[in-house]
Chain A
Amino acid sequence: MKKIVITIPFIVLGLMILCACGSGSQASDGESAQAAETHPLGQASVADDVSAKNILQVAIGSEPHSTLVAAVQAAQIEHVLVNAGPLTVFAPTNDAFAALPEGTVDNLLKPENKETLATILKGHAAPGSFNVEGLKKEARKGRKIFMANETYLEVIVDGEDIMVGGAKVIGTVQTSNGIINVVDKVILPN
């Protein structure tokens, strides 16, 4: 034990000198290290102010979806929402989250529930582009939508209303990588 303890300072000394010389001559080393720390989101961190906004960018810019965005960030699935897609997201409003039993959201946002939260959120996302026309077509043709949590959701057209998994579609936004359908309920697994 003692031997090891004594050797460590020498190694540390060596490393310190290495670092000192390295950073003195190569400023870019420090910059890359910093870049690595500030880029944990992959594609979500790409700066692009020219392209049409993607699903995540639209959601972040939408005040009624601040709970959803917080949940996406807590589940660390931001990069899924900026991927090439195509993706359809059924986006519950803040009111929809607030309507859940008291404490549910706070509980889901805890780090230890990250996986559960991710599964619930994936139940709101489907590969493919389904706008209002697309949803009506799904209903008309009796097709179900395959969701990212590997469940199938039925689309029901009831008069003017389009219902998906018990939630009502109350708005649709076209984004660069898919569709956001705003819904009035959180879709929970059966």
Chain B
Amino acid sequence: MNTYNKIVGYALTLSLLFVVGSCNQGRGNGGALGSGNAERVYVAPGEHDEFYGFISGGFSGQLAVYGLPSGRLFKVIPVFSVDAEKAYGFSEETKPMLETSFGTIPWDDSHHPDLSQTNGEIDGRWCFINANNTPRIARISLSTFETEEIIELPNSAGNHSSSFVTENTEYVVAGTRFSVPIPQRDMSIDEYKGNFKGAISFIKVDQETGRFDLSFQVIMPGFDYDLAHPGRGASHGWMFFTTYNTEEASTLMEVNASQNDKDFIAAINWKKAEELIANSDFETMATEYAHNVYDESTQMATSTIKKEVRTLDASKYPGLVYLLPTPKSPHGCDVDPSGEYIIGSGKLSASLTAHSFTKMLDAIENEKFDGDAYGIPVLNYDDIVGGVVQSGGLGPLHTEFDGKGNGYTTFFISSEVVKWKLGTWEVIDRKPTYYSVGHLMIPGGNSRKPFGKYLVALNKITKDRYLPTGPELSQSAQLYDISGDKMVMLSDFPTVGEPHYAAGAPADLIKPNQLKLYKLEENNHPHAVKNEKDTRVERNGKEVHIYMTTIRSHFAPDNIEGIKVGDKVYFHVTNLEQDYDVPHGISMIGANTSELLIMPGQTETFVWEPKKEGVWPFYCTDFCSALHQEMQGYVRVSARNSNVPLKWSLDGE
């Protein structure tokens, strides 16, 4: 009887635990106890995430693609740095992508991805990202998830207030962080003030192909241009940039660029600029910049050096630019979904300043000016401020929006995200981050239509968040559920390089447009071979071209003789597969380059310069099939003066 009672008691207790446990998990907003968070980020095996996250690779120079809410890393897309895994910058086809007016550069520092938009809403066509060090903007196809185009920006240095798209992707806009002599010349640094200038570049985007054209640059005073966002809705046609160092200092900037009580948000009327350009009212300046394009049809990149750029000096064109005083070296420059409020986060301040676009227009109309800077009107602060968020945090940096009337701002110094209400400017919630958060991202969070379900905080310092990996830990991200009144932290995940900005999009916007393979009949690579019968080896002096194919599970040809020490051997390899996710790789012993990783239907080329006599093997580097280990071949290398004839074969034929 006792045993019976005990068992019944256990059973009842168990039942109650189930009830309590299950219902806690079921509540969407009851995150205080932390229960149920696991299932909110859990994506079952074989299931897909709800959102794509495109997170800048920071000082890796690349772009990382994540799934949200799982935080799973899907791909690192090489953009500004070489990537031996994907032969980016190593294959003959992709080497031109990294050309600049300074020559080939194998690395950069990628910062701010932004997605193409139509009518102010993200549309899933392209992702753009800036190189900060040697100023460039890249366009990444969201069909192939590969970098298709890179354009260098002349007159720029520290390409930081970039790469932000206007509401219909008319332009990708890029602003210089460092002002420099324009054009560059040998001059004393002491003469910075008044002589150095800042260039803001407007890159026109072809709506069919996505191809870039550097349309014009607005030449601004010698401030530092930090971040930017486009106007939207009523403010469409304007672009807003935060500035600091309006002191125009050039040394010990942490002190000398922090002297002014207020710096500016520069409001550029690009519709006005378009009129000036259309009326040929601009100056053409001689310069040099590289424009690199990858052609999906020929599967080759080409690099062209361009020689001039159209410029508009902001001081000379009334109505082109206005300056909005904003407290204390503002960093983030964020525009709410309606386009009415332009938020400046004074990084040395505790508060946020929200300028009103309506008031700005009124101040311009009625000339409520507070002087000028180099002839550019400075609007009267009190006449344009729409509101101030007294946050209580320290070091505000960036703001995103949820589309439900709320803003979310990161605070670097106080390591937190603060949620506040547009219009009333009251603080609603605050949650710590781990640690020292920089950017944050809500999918679509800087567009007309945010998807306010998740927020990703991108932190600069990691410390104890993961198993230690020596002195450096990869930067951490935190995922928050923002669907309720209060934010709930769901998970941590590591990132690649130091992520700056990120962009997110619903998976359904991007998934249907995926390219699964390159059709062989559409492969117009000049060295493609479409079947094994056409494979061959050709000698032209010391240059040897091998026209090779791959298919499960062999190379054709796979035995080659007649190569000589000192030859320059081009392996042009076409993957004959027409099957999704079946690439082949190839690598050659002693080749001073990376492997190739060739997608189905694609042709790629690597160069091998044999230095030693012998018989040297090559093999498939990507486990392609059940007979992958058999996918190998030999090249016989003879002395320079040998008479071994050039011949090639597969299975002796």
Using a CB–CB distance below 8 Å, which chain A residues touch chain B?
3, 6-7, 10-11, 13-15, 17-22, 24-26, 28-29, 31-32, 35, 39, 48, 50-52, 54, 83-87, 127-129, 137, 176-178
Closest 4 CB pairs of A and B: A14-B18, A10-B11, A14-B15, A25-B26
- From A54, which residue of chain B is reached at the shortest CB distance? B579
Asked if A137 and B551 sit within 8 Å, CB to CB, the answer is no
Q: Which residues of B contact A22 (CB under 8 A)?
A: 22, 25-26
Given A17-B18, A51-B517, 6 other A-B residues pairs in contact with their CB atoms under 8 A:
A6-B7, A7-B10, A13-B15, A14-B16, A35-B44, A128-B627
Asked if A176 and B26 sit within 8 Å, CB to CB, the answer is no
The B87-139 residues at the A interface (CB cut-off 8 A) are none
Q: Which among A21, A28, A39, A86 is the interface contact of B627 at CB below 8 angstroms?
A: A86
Q: Which residues of A contact B8 (CB under 8 A)?
A: 6-7, 10
Instruction: Determine chain A's interface SS by DSSP, over half rule.
Output: helix
The B328-375 residues at the A interface (CB cut-off 8 A) are none
- From A19, which residue of chain B is reached at the shortest CB distance? B22
In the assembled complex, the Cα of A25 lies from the Cα of B26 at a distance in Å of 5
Asked if A21 and B22 sit within 8 Å, CB to CB, the answer is yes
A-B contact list, 26 entries, CB within 8 Å: A6-B8, A7-B7, A10-B12, A11-B14, A17-B15, A17-B18, A17-B22, A18-B21, A20-B22, A21-B19, A21-B25, A21-B26, A28-B44, A28-B47, A35-B44, A35-B46, A51-B517, A51-B600, A52-B578, A52-B579, A85-B625, A86-B552, A128-B553, A129-B552, A137-B653, A177-B552
Q: Which residues of A contact B10 (CB under 8 A)?
A: 7
Q: Which residues of A contact B577 (CB under 8 A)?
A: 176
Asked if B579 and A26 sit within 8 Å, CB to CB, the answer is no
Asked if A10 and B15 sit within 8 Å, CB to CB, the answer is yes
A129 to chain B, nearest CB (A): 7
Q: Which among B15, B16, B47, B578 is the interface contact of A51 at CB below 8 angstroms?
A: B578
Q: Which residues of A contact B39 (CB under 8 A)?
A: 26, 29
Asked if B47 and A84 sit within 8 Å, CB to CB, the answer is no
Q: Which among A3, A17, A48 is the interface contact of B580 at CB below 8 angstroms?
A: A48
Asked if A50 and B516 sit within 8 Å, CB to CB, the answer is yes
In the assembled complex, the Cα of A21 lies from the Cα of B8 at a distance in Å of 23
Total A-B pairs in contact (CB under 8 Å)?
A: 108
Asked if A84 and B582 sit within 8 Å, CB to CB, the answer is yes
Q: Which residues of A contact B209 (CB under 8 A)?
A: none
Asked if B517 and A50 sit within 8 Å, CB to CB, the answer is yes
Asked if A3 and B552 sit within 8 Å, CB to CB, the answer is no
- Given known pairs A3-B7, A10-B12, the reply for A51 and B579 (CB within 8 Å) is yes
Asked if B25 and A25 sit within 8 Å, CB to CB, the answer is yes
Q: Which residues of B contact A25 (CB under 8 A)?
A: 25-28
Interface size on B, residues (CB 8 A): 41
Q: Which residues of A contact B4 (CB under 8 A)?
A: 3, 6
Asked if A84 and B26 sit within 8 Å, CB to CB, the answer is no
Q: Which residues of A contact B252 (CB under 8 A)?
A: none
Asked if B17 and A51 sit within 8 Å, CB to CB, the answer is no
Asked if A83 and B626 sit within 8 Å, CB to CB, the answer is yes
B177 to chain A, nearest CB (A): 43
Q: Which residues of B contact A129 (CB under 8 A)?
A: 551-553
Q: Mark B504-541, 1 if CB is under 8 A from A, else 0.
A: 00000000000011000000000000000000000000
Q: Which residues of A contact B582 (CB under 8 A)?
A: 84, 176
Q: Which residues of B contact A10 (CB under 8 A)?
A: 8, 11-12, 14-15
- From A8, which residue of chain B is reached at the shortest CB distance? B11
A36 to chain B, nearest CB (A): 8
B651 at interface by CB-CB < 8 Å = yes
Q: Which among B12, B22, B47, B651 is the interface contact of A35 at CB below 8 angstroms?
A: B47
Asked if A84 and B11 sit within 8 Å, CB to CB, the answer is no
In the assembled complex, the Cα of A131 lies from the Cα of B18 at a distance in Å of 61
Q: Which residues of B contact A87 (CB under 8 A)?
A: 626
Asked if A176 and B578 sit within 8 Å, CB to CB, the answer is yes
- Given known pairs A17-B15, A18-B21, A21-B25, the reply for A84 and B625 (CB within 8 Å) is yes
In the assembled complex, the Cα of A18 lies from the Cα of B553 at a distance in Å of 51
Q: Which residues of A contact B47 (CB under 8 A)?
A: 28, 31-32, 35
A122 to chain B, nearest CB (A): 14
B23 at interface by CB-CB < 8 Å = yes
In the assembled complex, the Cα of A149 lies from the Cα of B59 at a distance in Å of 53
- From A86, which residue of chain B is reached at the shortest CB distance? B552
Asked if B11 and A50 sit within 8 Å, CB to CB, the answer is no
B388 at interface by CB-CB < 8 Å = no
Q: Which residues of B contact A21 (CB under 8 A)?
A: 19, 22-23, 25-26
B624 at interface by CB-CB < 8 Å = yes
